[in-house]
Structure 1
Amino acid sequence: MAIIKPFIASRRFESTIGSGTGTGATFAIAATTFTDDAGVAATAFPASPSYYNLFINGVLQLGNTSTATTTTLTIPGGDALDPATPVTVEFVVN
């Protein structure tokens, strides 16, 4: 029996901390403030990703650093970072 590799792709989105709202545990960045790989404004994040990777200022963050839904990326305490800090989130879908 042949082994069939599963389909895996990624969707990347980029924004800055300054696009977020809220403070402390409620700090979140809306999906609509991100741009995708094509440079187009995002309307939503993928609904059922296998997992996602969060990069803040180019540094991969631990899994417990954030939560993501189709509409927001929540980064507790993210409001303490400089507003110009880049945020990249990569969703792996299959």
Structure 2
Amino acid sequence: MSDSLTFGIDEAQEKIEKLTEKLVEAKGIANELTSTKIYIQDTRKKDLDHYIEEIRLDFTRTFHHEPEGFYLVAEGQNGRCQISLSKRKSFF
């Protein structure tokens, strides 16, 4: 009886170790995504709301999730502008 119990514990411990490895891998990927900068040169002239929606949809198609916590940074000769890509419309 104790042998089967020990085997069950060993099996569970192996599964936990595999899950821990996957979590470490996922954390690394998440850190890479949060520190990635994507530069887009776009000369189209559009309404700002339409432009934000288009960029948000491109992000969703590319990364398969909503861009919560991500924002578009526009830099030009006259300064810098940050625009939130989340649907909550929060501005930084």
Scaled by the length of structure 2, the TM-score of the pair is: 0.31
Relative contact order (C-alpha < 8 Å, sep 6+): which is higher? 1
Is the strand fraction higher in 1 or 2? 1
Is the helix fraction higher in 1 or 2? 2
Larger Rg: 2
